[in-house]
Amino acid sequence: MSFASDARAPADSLFRRNLRAFAANRLAFGSAIVVLIFVVMAVFAPWIAPHDPAATDLFRRLQPPAWMEGGDWAFPLGCDALGRDILSRIIYGARISIFIGVAVILVATVVGILAGLAAGYLRGWVDIVISRIVDILLGFPYLIFAIGLMAMMGPGLANIILVMAYKEWVIPCRVVRGETLAVRELEYVEAARAVGASDRHIMLREILPNILSPVLVVATIRMADVIILEAALSFLGLGVQPPTASWGAMVADGRAFILESWWVSTFPGVAILLLVLAINVASQGLRDAFDPRFSE
Amino acid sequence: MTGALLQVEGLSKTYVGRMSLVGRLLGRRPTAVRAVSDVSLDIERGEILGLIGESGCGKSTLGRAILRLHEPSAGRVTFDGTDVTALSPAAMTAMRRRMQIIFQDPYASLNPRRTVADIVGLPLQLHGLASGRAAQRETVAEMLEKVGLKAGQIDRYPHQFSGGQRQRIGIARALISRPDFVVCDEPVSALDVSIQAQIIQLLQDLKREFALTYLFISHDISVIGYLADRVAVMYLGEIVEQGPVEAVLSRPRHPYTQSLLSAVPKVEATARTDRVRLTGDLPSPLNPPSGCKFHTRCPLAIDICRRSAPHRETVGQGHDAACHRLHEGLSITDGGSAA
């Protein structure tokens, strides 16, 4: 902090230093690249996917992967029960998983930051109300909670995001509240009050920039869980509705043929595993670089 | 005193501990810490009132209570004819332009994520003192030069400055809204000795230039002796002696002031080593002593000191002290046997 005396030091050198520390962690950096590949896949799905993910071809029903007998390199990972190309469906499925993951985390983080700042800075009854709501929501098992709400609200993309964000915000909220409690006692917060700054200014301009690192780290860690939950909901038929390709629903579709046509369920399952694992490893690297307090 | 810019009357600040549910059900009383108790003092326009005392005696709390950074529990603060303690939040915000504070810790008091332009410019922005962003930057740059920094350093972050420079930023922030009254809360005690003198000189120069009035909080008697016009001595939340700086420092009347002064190291060949060491620590404000709060450590304490609290009595021109044995002319350096 204080020993950086170089007069030409870049403006936000702390951020850059953290970024360099992250890049030096090869496993985490590699995982970040894997995540990036999935993101590129999702964004450019129409150009990358070899086939239309919804195009059925009953002649290719349960066609095995290319390297097996009866396979065809035009359909590298084989076809499902309706003869749709599994690779194309995985590529399109990445869109759903990543879009829902990002949307849920974005909504949850914004709500969580605002609620956490209010609870931690204003204290009093605001804190009591918000903290009790958080405690109650934390008491519900996540999946049961989501299944119940989805059954009430009905399936659909917007509803999935809403249902997950409904509970997910408590996690950034608790992180932000705890950090705010610590930062609000610092002298620069008192200094801002001394010159007449409003609560809003203090929360958003003085405190928030100083607690963003742990929030960023938590957001990436939670992203993996949200993607798994979305897959679970889709697996149960409560998620995105067919014919839209979703990894969880693809795994569910293959259940009936798991013994003779294992590839129908396995490849989307591997996609979930890869993306979630990569996000987890990358976020742990982020945590070590940006928020060393929490690393074991 | 009619010419006083700031009048503090019976100011108290009590911190009440949080009660557990069990404690509340059992009807227990919450623990209360009386950090400042019944303090009265006046600060004349244009003077420097030094406030000295041990760490933990409530000096900083008093300074913050005057500015309502910590809301006073009782008492009144009148600033330039306005009862500050009765102001609405909005009126208090406006009043903050005229009453400022310089903090002790130049590291903790500057937000590491904001540039000097943001930090020093904030008061201008909040009180609408600059028309537009360019005008604000210009005013900030002028202020930076007044406190001995360069205008070109305006876009830097606090970590790019040394401790002394950071304190200058804190001073610029406090003075940019052209306040009348500034609480200096140990502004030099976190700095190197070589830097201390520069900052004290700067504070003196700025006082002259902006016609300021200071409440200068310090535990360093030599700084107070050099800078202050009057001095108030604080012990366990109370003012025990107050008066013109020469009178208090040359003829201290309260045994606590005497012990503080005898603790100042002297560099004189003839210096006698009649230093009086106080035994024991500052008593816990959670459980303050009965009677005169100083009696547990006072070498002159007699029976009455344990039973009743002394009142402040005038002992000279503008000089008062609170001690039962004031008029016996005792000094702790010769009166140790009297205890």
Q: pLDDT digits over B114-159, tens only? A: 999 999 999 999 998 888 889 999 999 999 999 999 999 999 999 8
Q: Tell me: ipTM over 0.90.
A: no
> At B42, is the pLDDT very low, low, confident or very high (cuts 50, 70, 90)?
very high
At B185 the three-state DSSP class reads strand
At A80 the three-state DSSP class reads coil
User: Which candidate from A7, A9, A206 shows the least CB-CB separation from B111?
Assistant: A206
At B27 the three-state DSSP class reads coil
Pairing, β B181-185 against β B213-218: parallel
Q: Which of B67, B143, B160, B215 to mutate to test the interface with A (most CBs of A within 10 A)?
A: B160
Rounded Cα distance between B249 and B237, Å, is: 21
User: Which candidate from B64, B160, B173 shows the least CB-CB separation from A9?
Assistant: B160
Report whether pLDDT(A242) > 90: no
Q: What is the CA radius of gyration of chain A?
A: 23
Rounded Cα distance between A221 and A288, Å, is: 12
User: Which candidate from B126, B162, B163 shows the least CB-CB separation from A195?
Assistant: B126
The interaxial angle of helices A13-24 and A263-290, nearest 10 deg, is 130
The interaxial angle of helices A170-183 and A86-117, nearest 10 deg, is 40
Domain edges within chain B? 4-20+31-98+177-251
User: For residue A269, with 0-12 CB atoms within 10 Å meaning exposed, 13-18 middle and 19 or more buried, which class applies?
Assistant: middle
Rounded Cα distance between A58 and A64, Å, is: 14
Give chain B positions within 8 Å (CB) of A5: 160, 162
Report whether pLDDT(A12) > 80: no
- What one-character DSSP code corresponds to residue A60? G
Structural domains in chain A, CATH included, are 25-294 (1.10.3720.10)
Rounded Cα distance between A6 and B289, Å, is: 53
User: Which candidate from A2, A191, A196 shows the least CB-CB separation from B159?
Assistant: A2
- Outline where DSSP puts E strands in A105-242: none
Rounded Cα distance between A2 and A214, Å, is: 22
Contacts 24+ apart (CB under 8 A), B1-4: B1/B42, B1/B44, B3/B44, B3/B45, B4/B42, B4/B43, B4/B44, B4/B45
Edge-to-edge strands of the sheet including B238-244? Answer: B99-102, B181-185, B213-218, B48-52, B230-235, B238-244, B319-322, B312-316
Rounded Cα distance between B137 and B79, Å, is: 30
Q: What are phi and psi of B8, to 5 degrees?
A: -110, 125
At A184 the three-state DSSP class reads coil
Q: For residue B307, what pLDDT is reported?
A: 85
Q: For residue A202, what pLDDT is reported?
A: 94
Q: Which residue has the tokens 């005008």?
A: B135
Other CB atoms within a 10 A radius of the CB of residue B164 amount to: 18
A194 and B101 within 8 Å at the Cβ level: the answer is yes
The token pair at B184 is 């200096």
Q: Which of residues 140-199 of A touch B (CB under 8 A)?
A: 186-188, 190-198
Give chain B positions within 8 Å (CB) of A18: none
Report whether pLDDT(B271) > 60: no
At B52 the three-state DSSP class reads strand
Give chain A positions within 8 Å (CB) of B69: 190, 193-194
SS3 letters for A257-269? HCCCCCHHHHHHH
Report whether pLDDT(A225) > 70: yes
Share of chain B above pLDDT 90, in %: 52
At B177 the three-state DSSP class reads coil
A195 and B111 within 8 Å at the Cβ level: the answer is no
* Residue B233 contacts residue B256 (beta carbons within 8 Å): yes
Q: For residue A9, what pLDDT is reported?
A: 46
> At A111, is the pLDDT very low, low, confident or very high (cuts 50, 70, 90)?
very high
Residues 6+ apart with CB under 8 A from B323: B240, B253, B254, B255, B292, B310
CA distance A198 to chain B (A): 8
Mean pLDDT score, B228-254: 92
Least confident of A142-156, B159-173, B220-234, B245-259: A142-156
Residue at B267: amino acid letter: V
A194 and B96 within 8 Å at the Cβ level: the answer is yes
At A79 the three-state DSSP class reads strand
Pairing, β B4-16 against β B32-44: antiparallel
A1 and B108 within 8 Å at the Cβ level: the answer is no
Q: Is B128 on the interface with A (CB under 8 A)?
A: no
Q: Which residue has the tokens 């108790």?
A: B37
Mean pLDDT score, A218-231: 87
* Residue A233 contacts residue A149 (beta carbons within 8 Å): no
Report whether pLDDT(A55) > 90: no
Whether pTM > 0.95 for this model: the answer is no
Report whether pLDDT(A255) > 70: yes
**CA-based nearest residue in chain B for residue A206:** B111
The token pair at A141 is 């098992």
Residues 6+ apart with CB under 8 A from B207: B48, B214
CATH for B4-20+31-98+177-251, options being 3.30.70.20, 3.40.50.300, 3.20.20.70, 3.40.50.970? 3.40.50.300
Q: What are phi and psi of B214, to 5 degrees?
A: -115, 140
Report whether pLDDT(B9) > 50: yes
> At A65, is the pLDDT very low, low, confident or very high (cuts 50, 70, 90)?
confident
Rounded Cα distance between A48 and B283, Å, is: 76
Rounded Cα distance between B58 and B205, Å, is: 28
User: For residue B147, with 0-12 CB atoms within 10 Å meaning exposed, 13-18 middle and 19 or more buried, which class applies?
Assistant: buried
> At B242, is the pLDDT very low, low, confident or very high (cuts 50, 70, 90)?
very high
Give chain B positions within 8 Å (CB) of A188: 108-111
> At B7, is the pLDDT very low, low, confident or very high (cuts 50, 70, 90)?
very high
The token pair at B124 is 């201008």
